[in-house]
């Protein structure tokens, strides 16, 4: 005699968290995605304030030789290096949690995110094109992209060298 297949048992559905339950506010906050945690938003914003201030300082101190947007070029390439160095160094140090996560959010997302500027890069390129400086615009785009990538790799390599020296 053949036994009929049993029907699958329904799986229990997760229940919503009861606000009167034993779950603490800290546990509820820890379950939220990072971008919805107020403490981390403030952390990123504080890094961003300093990154933007640093970018403005570089812009005010840097000349624009022959119309070349040197300040934007410098902040983007330097920011790419710092971000490569930071992220590789944090990755080598362990999982993205605790102080490493805070460092990534503050320095990487906040500071470097505000220090570097894609929007100014795009506006500078557009201004060069509107001024009829096609060659300079193409050189600016190519140099920014190539040196930015090279700077990122150099930052990663520098973090790797530091790690090997400390072992």
* Domain count within the chain: 1
The answer to whether position 98 is within a domain reads yes
Please tell me whether 113 is known to bind a ligand.
yes
The answer to whether position 12 is within a domain reads no
The answer to whether position 44 is within a domain reads yes
Please tell me whether 29 is known to bind a ligand.
no
Q: Is the overall model pTM greater than 0.85, yes or no?
A: no
The answer to whether position 124 is within a domain reads yes
The answer to whether position 58 is within a domain reads yes
The answer to whether position 13 is within a domain reads no
When mean pLDDT is compared across 9-18, 77-86, 91-100, 119-128, the lowest value belongs to 9-18
| pLDDT tens-place string over residues 56-104 | 999 899 888 888 999 999 999 999 999 999 999 999 999 889 899 999 9
| Residue 62, domain extent | 35-166
The answer to whether position 23 is within a domain reads no
CB-CB neighbours of 60 under 10 Å: 8
Of 73, 79, 81, nearest to 157 (Cα)? 81
The answer to whether position 26 is within a domain reads no
CB-CB neighbours of 79 under 10 Å: 24
């Amino acid at each position: 005699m053949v036994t009929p297949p049993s029907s699958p048992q329904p799986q229990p559905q997760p229940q919503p968290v009861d606000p009167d339950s034993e779950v603490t506010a800290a546990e509820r906050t820890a379950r939220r995605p990072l971008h919805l945690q107020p403490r981390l938003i403030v952390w990123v914003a504080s890094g961003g304030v300093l990154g933007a201030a640093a970018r403005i300082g570089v812009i005010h101190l840097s000349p624009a030789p022959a119309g070349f947007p040197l300040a934007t070029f410098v902040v983007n390439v330097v920011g790419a290096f710092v971000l490569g160095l930071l992220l590789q160094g944090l990755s080598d140090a362990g999982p993205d949690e605790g102080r490493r996560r805070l460092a990534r959010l503050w320095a990487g997302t906040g500071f470097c995110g505000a220090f570097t500027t894609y929007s100014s890069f795009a506006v500078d390129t557009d201004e060069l094109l509107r001024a009829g400086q096609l060659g300079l615009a193409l050189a600016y785009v190519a140099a920014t992209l190539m040196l930015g990538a090279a700077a990122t790799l150099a930052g990663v390599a520098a973090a790797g060298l530091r790690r090997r020296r400390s072992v």
